[in-house]
Structure 1
Amino acid sequence: MRVLFASTRGSGHFHPLVPLIDACTARGDDVLVVAPPALEALLASRKQSYRIGRDPDPEELAETMARVLAAAPDDGVSLMVEEVFGRLCTAAMLPAMEEACRDWRPDLVLHEAFEFASVVAAERHGIPHARVAISAAGFTGSTDRLLTPVLDPYGPGLVRRLVESPYLTRLPASLDPSPYATTHRYHEELRPQALPDWWGGATEPLVHVTLGTEAGALPAATGLYRAVLDAVSGLPVRVLLTTGHHIDPAALGPLPPHVHAEPWVPQADVLRSASLVVCHGGSGTVYGALAAGVPVVCVPLFADQPANARLVTGSGAGESVTPTGDPEDEASVLGPDDVRNIREAAERALEQPSYRARARALADEVRTTPTAAELLATIEP
């Protein structure tokens, strides 16, 4: 079978496709990935064939992103989905998706949830398509209404057929009820490795601090990392901070002996040993932690992160501290009380057994779902 995978830019959009890409490759399918230029280096490091499409006009994209960042959180989400993903990215990537569907003739298109050019191309060429979740289903479903004005001009009823297509998610049903009639849940099989002993034989609980891969590009990122470290480094724990590739860990200045910083460490390796994750509430981080049975403290910043934080707190598997400062001002990204609130939330999550018990229950639920390979066998056209 020939399977085309489609993603917008950003590792948080691409990585949910990886278990399915690997499962297709392992069973001998022909795989083609089509993505924008920002993912070219990542795709070149993998063994699957790929094609690179176009980016939107830089000036128009920059102007739109400035509006997104200046807007209130809900308005920023709406602008991002409708204008960036729906209008600009779809128009830019459509020629490459059309060419792949016309010339390569895939049997199935699997696209991350906010990549729409492949849906347009698949519909035009009569190719079945399925949507791969990168966020909670409730969050994604709340944005679908925004797509009709920008996508239906490509074909009447296109958004309806997008919503009716199979929806594939790694989040468990008790955490993330789905509004989509055809929802398939699955999990990825991981083989985590032991971490290096960066703490000289210390055995205190390990706290993983991360803001994911995209938040590090924000002007406030360095100040935010320092503030979160201030919150947790005074606890009787070991800390592993991963900064992403936008920030050099050395820029954070001297760190205490029990705090170690790296640009990136495989998430599964960290979660194998972690007792707590303190993060921005990104879907990949939250899903990974809960699938490993690790409680979470969320410090949500933008996009779907507040929605993910609400899922975490509602499930009983963690807590959330919403920043009260200015996200554009490095000196005040966290308000005066935020550091204390993060520290207290981390203490409760480490000390009260109920958080870990609930996280482990969610992990057990995840393990009852099919593997990515088993799921693919059920959605073959």
Structure 2
Amino acid sequence: MRVLVASTNGSGHFSPLVPFIDACAARGDDVLVAAPPKLEPLLAARKQPYHIGGEPPQAELVPLMMRVLGLPADEGVSLMTREVFGRLCITAMLPTLEELCREWRPDLVLHETYELASVVAAERHGVPHAQVAVSVAQFAESTDELLRPALDSYGTGIAERLRVSPYLTRLPASLDPSPYAVTRRYHQPPAPNALPDWWHGREEPLVYVTLGTEVGGIPNASALYRAVLASVSGLPARVLLTTGPFTDVSDIGAIPRNVRVEKWVPQADVLGGASLVLCHGGSGTVHGALASGVPLVCLPLFADQPTNARLVTEAGAALTVTADGPGQEAAGFGPDGVAGIRSAVELVLKNPSYRAGAERLAAEMCDTPTAGELLDSLGTCPAPGPR
């Protein structure tokens, strides 16, 4: 089978596709990955063939993203969905994906939720398609109507046929009930390696701190990192902070003695020995923590993070601390916020119920097919309807 895999920018969008890419390769399928230029370094480090498409013009994208970051969360999501994913990204990637569907002739298009040029191309060339979730279903459903006008401008009914296509998610049903009729759940067993002994044999609990790979590029990022580090300074724990590629660590200031700072560490390696994850509530981090049975403290900032944080907190596997600022650009934590983060971290470390909640969700996730086991049924995806 020939499988065309399509992603937008960001490791959080590409990572959910990786288990399927690896499973396709393992069973001998021909796999071709299509993505924007910013993903090329990541794709070049892998074995699969890839094709780089277009990207939105920076002169239009950058001011738009600055507007998104300055808005309250709901307004920012609406603008980002309609203008970035629904307009700019489709326009940029569609010529490449149309060419690949026409010339390479895939048997299946597998795309992450917000890569939609591949859906348009698949519909135009009669190729079955399935979407791999990058967020909770509740959040994805909330953006469906925002995307409908953009999709249907390329062909009547495309938005509805996207909604009834297979929806593949790593999250468990008890946490993330799905409104999509063809929902199929899968998991990828964690395979951690040992971390370096950065703490010279100390055995206190390991707290993993991450705000994702994109936060370093937003206004006030350094102040946010300083607040998070202040909340764990002197904590009787080993703390690992990963900043991603866009953060200048020298801007953060003094690093507490119990904290190790790295640009990037394989998430599975950290989670294999972590006692707690302190994060922004991004889907990839939340999924990884739950898959490893690790509880969380969430500091949601934008996009799907508030929804993720609320659901995992309601499930008893996390606590949520909200920022002081009224909008995303001003998001930050003053002295009261720092104290709130520390109290939440101490409570989750002390109270075993949060670990039990995370482990319950991990067990539920493990009771689903692997991505490889799920692949067999994807070959029977219904073809798109009449154009």
- Band of TM-score, shorter chain: over 0.9
Q: Is the 8 A contact 1:220 1:327 kept in 2?
A: no
Q: Is the 8 A contact 1:240 1:259 kept in 2?
A: yes
- Matching residue of 1:246: 246
Moved more, 56-65 or 25-34: 56-65
Q: Deviation per CA, 1:262-307, whole angstroms, max 9, x where unpaired?
A: 1111000000110000000000000000110000000011100000
Q: Is the 8 A contact 2:97 2:121 kept in 1?
A: yes
Q: Is the 8 A contact 2:226 2:253 kept in 1?
A: no
| Structure 1 residue matching 2:130: 3-state secondary structure | strand
Q: Is the 8 A contact 2:227 2:334 kept in 1?
A: no
Moved more, 285-294 or 234-243: 234-243
- Matching residue of 1:216: 216
Over the residues paired in the alignment, what is the CA RMSD in angstroms? Answer: 1.2
Question: How far, CA to CA, are the matches of 1:189 and 1:360 in structure 2?
Answer: 14
TM-score, structure 2 normalization: 0.96
Question: How far, CA to CA, are the matches of 2:356 and 2:312 in structure 1?
Answer: 13
Question: How far, CA to CA, are the matches of 1:66 and 1:225 in structure 2?
Answer: 20
- Residue 280 (1) aligns with residue 280 (2): yes
- Matching residue of 1:30: 30
**Which ranges in structure 2 are unaligned for 5 or more consecutive residues?**
381-387
Q: Is the 8 A contact 1:292 1:360 kept in 2?
A: yes
Question: How far, CA to CA, are the matches of 2:57 and 2:277 in structure 1?
Answer: 37
How far apart are residue 250 of structure 1 and its match? 4.3
Q: Is the 8 A contact 1:152 1:158 kept in 2?
A: yes
The residue identity in structure 2 corresponding to 1:364 is A
The residue identity in structure 1 corresponding to 2:329 is E
| Structure 2 residue matching 1:273: 3-state secondary structure | coil
How far apart are residue 218 of structure 1 and its match? 1.3
The residue identity in structure 2 corresponding to 1:312 is V
Question: How far, CA to CA, are the matches of 2:87 and 2:315 in structure 1?
Answer: 35
Question: How far, CA to CA, are the matches of 1:320 and 1:77 in structure 2?
Answer: 20
| Structure 2 residue matching 1:123: 3-state secondary structure | helix
- Matching residue of 2:353: 354
- Matching residue of 1:328: 329
How far apart are residue 249 of structure 1 and its match? 3.4
Q: Is the 8 A contact 2:204 2:237 kept in 1?
A: yes
**Which ranges in structure 1 are unaligned for 5 or more consecutive residues?**
none
Q: Is the 8 A contact 1:187 1:371 kept in 2?
A: yes
Question: How far, CA to CA, are the matches of 1:210 and 1:320 in structure 2?
Answer: 15
Moved more, 226-235 or 45-54: 226-235
| Structure 1 residue matching 2:275: 3-state secondary structure | strand
- Matching residue of 1:163: 163
How far apart are residue 247 of structure 1 and its match? 1.6
Q: Is the 8 A contact 1:194 1:269 kept in 2?
A: yes
- Matching residue of 2:385: none
Q: Is the 8 A contact 2:135 2:283 kept in 1?
A: yes
Question: How far, CA to CA, are the matches of 2:172 and 2:64 in structure 1?
Answer: 34
| Structure 2 residue matching 1:277: 3-state secondary structure | strand
Q: Is the 8 A contact 2:68 2:79 kept in 1?
A: yes
- Matching residue of 2:259: 259
| Structure 1 residue matching 2:153: 3-state secondary structure | helix
TM-score, structure 1 normalization: 0.97
Extract structure 1 runs of 4+ deviating beyond 6 A: none
Moved more, 154-163 or 42-51: 42-51
Distance 1:327 1:165, change over 3 A: closer
The residue identity in structure 2 corresponding to 1:216 is G
How far apart are residue 312 of structure 1 and its match? 1.3
Q: Is the 8 A contact 1:211 1:243 kept in 2?
A: yes
% of aligned pairs identical?
66
- Matching residue of 2:368: 369
Count residues with an aligned counterpart.
379
- Matching residue of 2:342: 343
